[in-house]
Every structure is written in structure tokens, then in C-alpha cells.
Structure 1
Amino acid sequence: MKQVQDAYIVAATRTPIGRSHRGYFRNTRPDDLLVKALHAVLAQVPSLDPQAIEDLICGCAIPEGPQGLNIARVGAVLAGLPTSVGGITVNRFCASGLSAIQMAADRIRVGEADVMIAAGVESMSMVPMTGNSPSFSPLMFQNDENIGIAYGMGLTAEKVAQQWKVSRDMQDAFAVASHAKALAAQARGDFTAEITPVEVVDRSANLDTGEVMEKRRTVSMDEGARADTSLEGLAKLKTVFAARGSVTAGNSSQTSDGAGALILASEKAVKQYGLTPLARFVSFASKGVPPHIMGIGPIEAIPAALRYAGLKQDDIDWFELNEAFAAQSLAVMNTLGLNPDKVNPLGGAIALGHPLGATGAMRAATAIHALQRNKLRYSMVTMCVGMGQGAAGIFERV
């Protein structure tokens, strides 16, 4: 399709990331998290007429249970958006949120819309990673090529660690660095501009009186980073996915809950509503790789996104490389020769968490605000994707 106009990000925010099952949002519904992100991102552009919003595209990796029934439309209605604003939920697993941004940008770039919302949401506390009743096709198990689709993510990380020769020591050192960078970023306040504080309500019953007790608190920081993470501590953890493997809970991403949202606009809308662009959407690429080594997806997606943008790898000032596992992150970085100083300067999913379908939108908020804060030009969000894919998107500071 012919590109007729640019798409600009004019607002970007995210909730804090909570640990699943025992964290901030263990009792918070995902549609409520999405509503909080939508309210917050709209508040960043008070001059925008909500009637101008064409559609809401929301990424969600496991769209069932409390995040089913087309959570994008549910979120739009519950957030009080005009009924004229539609909603569609998209699923590219870990790249769902990034794909939502790409789809929203493309609607604008081909002239079919002037204002779009892109978002991502996931509650791994309320919906398990494989869903409530997974059902695999028997054809997956008829040959070695297809069976990789059914591999658990941890087993694919073990395959990558073996093939790319990423040792346990390398993985643990990478994990320690992720926590250290995240803690330092929190201390500096680097996440403040991108995070919307969320009031959490915890309810409990007093069985003696029959009263329902409420406890309210406001959370404003990701809760995954741990100051006590050390090489010595990680070395004591047992491998999880293979008896003689190297992948542990400590050098893998944390299962998490969270949501993020961005507003994209055309140049026409920017001028009409007096908006201030944060970044321009530059390019997006998705590529398939063998399912049993899904973690290498960015090795294929990053060069493609650069090619579409007419850029070189050295042109990118900031990489948000989703740390699904230390093994795959290191394999990608080493294979492509990524500058480690440019990769996840604020830490990554090992420390901060990885709420699956929300991650792309949340990391885009990080990458876009990093461009503004540091006065850089280009940032990239990239990740591996379950069942053998990679995705990458590029943003330019305006």
C-alpha cells in the first residue's frame, strides 16, 4: 500500500508491572488495568476530541477468561470512550502490543484514520500462560519440525543456549545486570514519565462481622527488581526445563501483570488539536524462525525493520530487547553484534517483568520516553515470539 502520511505517537504511558499471583495486581482484573491505561493516556492529550478516535487496537496474548470477549472493545466501553470508537484484540503472543502499534500506525499511514489508540494488556495472575484449556493439533507431534510448536518456552531457551553456546555463568551475569540497571533507573526516576500510578483495592471478609474490608494503596513502581540478586544466589537455583540445562527462574523473565497505551495521530490531527508529537513511527517487521529456537526471532526481525526504514544498526540509539530469557537475549546480541551499552539501559524483563501481550506497548512507552529524556534520535523495540517468530519496531524522536 502506498504510504500517504506519517503516524506520530502523541501520548504513551503504562501501568507499573506487578508480579503475577502474588504481586500488586493479583486481584485486579485485566480489563480494569486496560481502563486505567486508557484514562491515563487520554489525560496526556486534553485538547484531543475523543470523537476523533477511529479505533482501539489492543494486544493480548491469551485473550480468554477475564481478558476475553474482545477486551479491546470492553476496555473502550468501560473507559467511557465514545461508542463510535471500535475495538479489536490482536494476538501475536509476546509481540501483541507492538503489533497493535504497527496496525494503528498503518491505518494512519495509508490515510484511513487520523487518530488511533494502540494498547496491550495481560494478567498472568488471572489467565495462565497456555490458557485455561489448551488443545494442540495432533499434527504437531507427527514430525520433529512441527513438534517445536508445542515446546514450552523454557525448553526453546535451552535449545538456544546449546546451539549458540550461551553458558549458565553468562546467563546469570546477564540477569544480575538486568536487576542492577532496573534498580538504578528506579532510583534516578527514569520511569516516572512513562508510568501512571495505579490505586489498588484489596478486599477481604471479616467472617465474624460479615463486613467486607477494603485496603487501598497506590503503586507507582515496577515491583520485580530485586536488590538482593547476586551471582552467588542465582548459582544456587536449580534448572527448571532440562535436567542438565542452564535456564533457571533467575535468568528468565518474570511472569507479570500490566497494561500500556499509546495514542497515534496524523500530521493533520496534530495540527488540528494542537498535539505535541513524541515520536514518529518508522517501521515494523515480523519474521518467522524455527519454533524450537523461537528465541532467535529478533536476529531476523531487526535487520528487516532496519531495511524497511533505510537505516543501519548503528543508527539505533536505544534498543528495548525483551529479555524473555538471558540465553536468547545474549544469542541475539552476540549474533548481531548489538552494542550492549545501547541494549536495555534501564534493565529488562528479567528484572522488570514480561506481561506477554502488554510488553510491546509497555516497552514502546519506555523507548519513546527514553528518546525524549536523553535527546536521542532512534529507538527500537524488539522481541522473540512464541512458536517461532521475531518482531521489531523503530521509532524516531520528533
Structure 2
Amino acid sequence: MERVKQLASHLTGSHSGGLAILKRNTPDDVVITLAIRSPMCKAKKGGFRDMKSDELLTEMFRRVIEHGNIDPALIGDICVGTVLPVGPTYEARTAALAAGIPENVPVQTINRFCSSGLMAVTTISNQIRVGQIEIGLAIGIESMTANPDQGPSAASEEIKTCGPANDALQPMGWTSENVARDFAISREDMDEIAALSFLRAENAQKQGYFDNEIVPFTALQKGPATGERVKVVVDKDDGIRYGTTKEGLLKVRAAFPQWPPAQTTGGNASQITDGAAAVLLMTRRKAEELGLPVLAKHVTTSVAGLAPRIMGIGPSIAIPMALQQCGLAKADIDLFEGCTIFHIFTPQDWS
């Protein structure tokens, strides 16, 4: 665990009154008035196992219309972040129309792998910030059941013979093992952090902390008798393993024994997931005009490139960049969440 702390120890930023500046409210602030998500369900086994990705996306659009408290015709643009669908822009446009989004509302898609949904937020925020639109909708969606990751297509010989380029084609399991080896992160460290994550998720679910962000989804599931799909309401994450302990995780076999040190397992790695989320953004001026609550302010986004073979340490590079942009220090931050930061913190006094 000490090695993990050392790896993150350089997450610092310059402090020059940035916190006070960011807390100021201005009419041109880009604010979030709606942030909702589906339950996160296990691929192939969970609540969305029998749904196509366009069906999942259509349901997300329906929930936005239901909870957004605005006329959807006011949305200036929609950006859908997604990775795996074969025809993502077709799915996004048709799902929006099927859900009742008016024809005059345009749709785009964006793919930055794991951070695609966050990049959708950033794209919409930037469009609002420069005055191209007043209101925008960002969505992240993935069905790893309907669209399993097939990996890259056959690469050219030039790519294969270029070390970093060829590294970028390798499986994430390989990169995970590289990080563990290069930074001396032990299996015990990994399982301890994973067990803590499960414990926190279990407690959060039991205490109802997720209830305000999850909106129930109407899922289509095959019935046990006829195999015909029936409507079922899914309202909770189904991948949280209650009672998980470090000792139990240490017994799980390595998922990638072919790559030393072979410490990544099905217990300490993220699950294969089906799910969706949506964020409605607009200027503070527009939110006040429409009488909508301000949940948070989007401030900045930082992205960083690094050696593909250790791509998992990307946040340790991008987070300091975001802090520096805002004139903040690590001590100013109340919450770090996720592996890519799109809003650094959301104190309620911003509203």
C-alpha cells in the first residue's frame, strides 16, 4: 500500500487563490443541472444482459426527458461518448429520435476509450463556454454484452515494428501487469484496495447513497419459460459483491498468468459492465432563467498522453495538470472520483 501512496504523492498543484476564484458565481459559468445514471450491471449476467446497446441508449434518453425539467427542443447539441458499437453515430441519432428528442436537436459521438463519457461532458461544456450553444446534453453509454471488445483490427507491418505503436495495440491486462511490475505494486496492495472499494460500495448501496443518481431503467429480459423478452425494472447496481475481504480476494487466480507478475484478477479488476449516464449542462444564466437547480460547475478537463505500456497511471499525470490550470493544490480538493477527472470537486456552496 505504501508504494501506491508513493505513486500518487506528486499529485500537487500551485495554490494562488484559485479556490476562492472558482467559488465565484458568474452568469457565464457552465453548470450541471442534471446528473443521472442507469444502474451499472454485469455484462452477460446482469439486468441489461438481453438488451441491445441502442435500446439501452434509448432508455437513457427517455430518462433525461423525464427528469431534465426542460423542453428537449431547447438542447443545442448532444454528445454521446461510447467505444464499442460498430455504428455509434447511427445508434446515437436513432436512439434520440426514438426516445422523443426532436429532429432539430443534433447528435455527435466521441471515443476516447475509458474516458469517452467524460469527454462528451467536456465537449458540450466547451461548446457552451465559447457561446456556440446555451444548453447541451452529454451521455456515456456502453453495452459490453451487446458489443464485446474485439480488440484492434490487423495492423500494418510499420505499426507492428514500432515499439510504442505496437504497445498501444496490446490488451489492458498486459498494461496492468506492467504497472504492477514497474512500480512494485504487490498483489496484497491490489487486493487490499479492491476489498476497500467493495466495502465502500456495499456501504454506499446499503445506506442509499446512490439513490439520488440512479434512475430506474425499464429493461428487456428473456423470460425463463418462452424466451420472449419481458419488461423488468432495474434500479440497483448488481456488481457489488457484499462481504468481500482481502483474504478472499487473495485466493482468486490470476487472470493473465502469461504476463508476469500475474497479479490482476477478476476480484481486483473492474467488471465488464453495461450501463449509461447523462449530464445536462448550460450556462448559469440559462439555469436561473429556467428555474433549474445548479448541482455543480464544470471548471476544466485535462488529458495526458504517456507510454501505452503503462497507460493505467494516466490520472497521476492529468490530475496535476488540472490542478495547475485552476491554481489549486491537492489539499484544496474534497473528493477525487473515478480514473479521469472532469470536475474536481463540487461543494454545495457553488449553487
TM-score bin, normalised by smaller chain:
0.7 to 0.9
Match of 1:307 among 311, 324, 333: 324
Q: Alpha-carbon deviation of 1:120?
A: 0.6
Q: Is the 8 Å Cα contact of residues 63 and 215 (structure 2) preserved in structure 1?
A: yes
Q: Which residue of 2 aligns with 1:29?
A: 52
1:282 counterpart (269, 281, 299): 299
- Quick one: which amino acid aligns to residue 37 of structure 1? M
Alpha-carbon deviation of 1:318?
A: 0.9
Quote the Cα distance in structure 2 between the aligned partners of 1:123 and 1:232: 32
**How many angstroms apart in 2 are the aligned matches of 1:17 and 1:282?**
26
- Counterpart residue identity of residue 39, structure 1: R
Query: Which of 146, 157, 162 is the aligned partner of 2:181?
Result: 162
- Rounded to whole Å, the distance in 1 between the matches of 2:237 and 2:285 is 36
Pairwise CA distance, 1:244: 4.0
Residue 85 (structure 2) aligns with:
63
Shift in Å, 1:214 = 4.6
Quick one: distance in 1 between partners of 2:75 and 2:107? 11
Matching residue of 1:44 = 67
Query: Contact conserved, 1:63 with 1:70, CA < 8 A, in 2?
Result: no
Could you tell me which residue of structure 2 aligns to residue 20 of structure 1?
43
| Residues 195-252 of structure 1: CA deviation (Å, up to 9, x unaligned) | 011122223586xxxx664544322111111114222322222212225421112111
Give the distance between the partners of 1:140 and 1:228, measured in 2 at CA: 45
CA distance in 1, matches of 2:219, 2:206: 23
CA contact (8 A) 2:27 2:285 kept: no
Task: Give distance in 2, aligned partners of 1:293 and 1:257.
Answer: 26
How many angstroms does 1:115 deviate by? 0.5
> 1:232 aligned to 2:182?
no
Provide the alpha-carbon RMSD of the alignment. Answer: 2.1
The structure-2 alpha-carbon separation of the partners of 1:145 and 1:212, relative to structure 1 and needing over 3 Å to count, comes to closer
Partner residue in 2 for 1:83: 103
1:192 aligned partner: 211
Q: Which residue of 2 aligns with 1:387?
A: none
Q: Name the residue aligned to 1:134.
A: 153
Corresponding position: 1:201 with 2:151: no
Q: Is the 8 A contact 2:59 2:218 kept in 1?
A: no
TM-score by length of 1: 0.76
Aligned position for 1:223: 238
1:114 aligns with 2:64: no
Relative contact order higher in (CA < 8 Å, ≥ 6 apart): 2
> What is the CA deviation profile of residues 51-87 of structure 1, one whole-angstrom value per residue up to 9, with x for unaligned ones?
211111010012316xx34332222212111111010
* Separation in structure 1 between the aligned mates of residue 227 and residue 269 of structure 2, nearest angstrom: 38
1:271, distance to aligned residue in structure 2 (A): 2.7
Match of residue 164, structure 2, among 134, 145, 152: 145
- SS across alignment from 1:247: coil
Structure 1 CA distance, aligned partners of 2:230 and 2:59?
18
Look up the SS of the partner of 2:117 in the other structure. Answer: helix
Q: Distance in 2 between matches of 1:247 and 1:212?
A: 36
C-alpha separation in 2, matches of 1:204 and 1:82: 34
- Tell me the equivalent position of 1:7: 30
Residues of 2 paired with 1:237 and 1:117: CA distance? Answer: 41
Give the equivalent residue in structure 2 for 1:181.
Answer: 200
Q: 1:394 aligned to 2:348?
A: no
- How big is the shift at 1:395? 4.8
1:321 is aligned to 2:341:
no
**Preserved CA contact (<8 Å) 1:58 1:71:** no
Contact 1:49–1:273 (8 Å) recurs in 2 = no
Work out the CA distance in 1 between the residues paired with 2:344 and 2:260.
39
Distance in 2 of aligned mates of 1:201 and 1:31: 12
Partners of 2:127 and 2:260 in 1: CA distance: 48
Which of residues 73, 90, 97 is equivalent to 2:93? 73
- Go from structure 1 to structure 2 and tell me whether the alpha carbon gap of 1:318 and 1:117 turns closer, same or farther (over 3 Å shift): same
Aligned partner of residue 288 in structure 1, secondary structure: coil
CA distance in 2 between partners of 1:108 and 1:305 (Å): 19
Of stretches 184-193 and 194-203 in structure 1, the one that deviates more from structure 2 is 194-203
Q: Contact 1:50 / 1:81 at 8 angstroms: preserved in 2?
A: yes
Match of 2:268 in 1: 251
CA distance in 1, matches of 2:63, 2:324: 34
Asked if the contact 2:177/2:262 (under 8 Å) is kept, the reply is yes
Unmatched 5+ stretches in structure 1: 323-380, 383-391
Partner of 2:280: 263
1:212/1:183 CA distance change after superposition, 3 Å = closer
Percent of residue pairs bearing the same amino acid type: 35
The alpha carbon displacement at 1:4 in A equals 9.3
* Cα pair distance change 1:246/1:7, threshold 3 Å: same
Call closer, same or farther: CA 1:162–1:305 in 2, change over 3 Å: same
Secondary structure in structure 1 of the residue aligned to 2:168: helix
Any idea what the Cα deviations from partners look like across 1:258-306, whole Å, max 9, x if unmatched?
0001110112321332111111101101010100000010111001111
Question: What SS does the corresponding residue of 1:10 show, helix, strand or coil?
Answer: strand
